[in-house]
Chain A
Amino acid sequence: MSPTLVVRVILLALGTLSAIAHWFLPRLTRPDLYFAVTVAPEFRDSSEGRFILRRYRRGLIGVSALTLTLLGALVVTPAFPLAPLALLLQLGAYFAVYYRARRLVLPHALAPTTIREARVGTRNRKIPGGWVTASGPFALLVACASYLGTHWQQIPARLVLHWGAHGQPDRWAARSLGTVFLPVLVAAVILLPLTLILYGMAHWLRPIYAGGPQGERESRFRRTASTVLLVMEYWIAVLFSGLAIRPLLPASLQRPPAAIFMVAGLIAIAGTAVLMRLGQGGNRVPSPQRPDSDSTRPVGDRTEDRFWKLGVFYFNRNDPSVMVERRFGIGYTVNFAHPIAWIIILLPVLALIAVTTTITVRHTMR
């Protein structure tokens, strides 16, 4: 399977899966949050709620037909490098459809609860497997870097950087600290914000339910999301370590199979599917038998609608939480009023710019 074919398949898959996910999203959120608006739990099953959902899905079908057609047309032509733009266009169109539905829900908004709860006793909010597991990907990178360092003299003076469409090397670079350790460095930069998010899910995230069956479902969702993130981190460490030690492998094994880059996508898809099955915050997990004697049932997610800009971006200076549950979607988002949130967001962007600039400058100077 050639790399370009892999890229085309990934792009098509992303577009299709995005359409499928957006179809189901309104029913995956908590019952008292509908298109990111706090409502009565029974609203989305009411005639008005169903009408809004039908309009949303009709809009979704329309924009999906247009954008997937465009995406498909680009992918099979030499213009496929423009396909990511089609994906962005698709996301923008979906946002417009969602926002139109949200505006229809807003007149039915309820004031969220002012009750806040917290467990004072033992808190079972840890990273799955603890810090030992969380540091595993970094340990792998350190081991890889050590291996490269101790076998420096065996690394060829000229390294293959790229293979052409016919599988022949067409780009090389001289052996240097930058070229040899670049994959390890890139992996570390990718893993840092992911680890921050992992830590944040354990310590910076406010639970909506402090206890009871709903609290347990919420904990299960959070643990599952953390596990998916950890698996992704390990795969990134394995992938980039493998790329880093390529020069030390026999020539026939140096070119990585194109399909290997699809594994990350498969992990993301499988993880998303599992979380969608659980529902946002675990709200689709069947209730255990024992009664919910420990918590009241608040309306909403204990955040106020006015702090959700466009229903998507949470900005609340008075909230110490760095992370909160998404209101439309699966998983979590950041409180953009918190400085750490910007570190989580900007770190990978800055890192990507730095790495891209470094590679470009080196390529230009060669």
Chain B
Amino acid sequence: MLRIDLASNVAVYEQIANGLRAELVAGHFGPGDKLPTVRALAIDLGVHHNTVAQAYRQLADEGWLELKRHRGATVRERHHAPNRSEGPERFTRPLRELLAKALAEGLPRKRLIRELMDSVHRLKEGGL
């Protein structure tokens, strides 16, 4: 299930890309599987089709999808991520910032640790 919030500060196309990436990382789609067409997903989410197209292009750039005109988006076999100049700091820094924001907004520390451990546990089992 893909879920976005039109009132979020995060751009809609990024929310779509993040949601789809989570599904792909979790293994819900295998190589060769087709994703919904841009138009169909745009109708379901109530957003412009360009927004969905942008999300699909981002995932294609990351090596997740193969886009063919009039054929839709197909999941690619992805052995490793494309080379990037930034290291893991690209993810650890936003993660630390997100944790700080959660604490600042009053989320109990124990609850936060529990959620993190739950995610770690699921990662170890190959899911998300």
Q: Which residues of A line the B interface, CB within 8 A?
A: 114-121, 123, 203-207, 210-211, 294-296, 302-303, 318-321
Contact = CB atoms under 8 A, between A and B. Distances in A.
B97 interface: no
Sort chain B's interface into a size bin. Answer: 20 to 34
A302 B6 CA distance: 11
> Looking at A115, A119, A320, which has the most chain B CB atoms within 10 Å of its CB?
A320
Interface in B3-51: 3-8, 19-20, 23, 28-29, 35-36, 39-49
Contacts, number: 72
Contacts of B6: 114-116
Contacts of B36: 118, 120, 123
B41 A118 contact: yes
B1 interface: yes
B39 A320 contact: yes
Interface of B: 1-8, 19-20, 23, 28-29, 35-36, 39-49
A116 B47 contact: yes
21 contacts: A114-B7, A114-B8, A116-B6, A116-B46, A116-B47, A117-B2, A118-B1, A118-B45, A119-B2, A120-B23, A120-B28, A121-B28, A121-B29, A206-B43, A210-B2, A210-B44, A294-B1, A295-B1, A303-B46, A318-B48, A320-B49
A242 to B, nearest CB: 39
Of all A-B residue pairs in the complex, the 7 with the closest CB atoms, nearest first, are A118-B44, A114-B7, A114-B6, A116-B45, A320-B42, A118-B2, A320-B43
Nearest to B12: A116
Contact of A320 (B4, B23, B29, B46): B46
Contacts of A211: 1
A116 B3 contact: yes
> Looking at B1, B28, B36, which has the most chain A CB atoms within 10 Å of its CB?
B1
B45 to A, nearest CB: 5
Nearest to B28: A121
Contacts of B4: 115-116
A206 B44 contact: yes
A321 B2 contact: no
B3 A207 contact: no
Given A120-B20, A120-B35, A321 B43 contact: yes
Given A114-B6, A118-B45, A206-B46, A123 B40 contact: yes
A204 B42 CA distance: 10
A303 B46 CA distance: 9
A121 B35 CA distance: 7
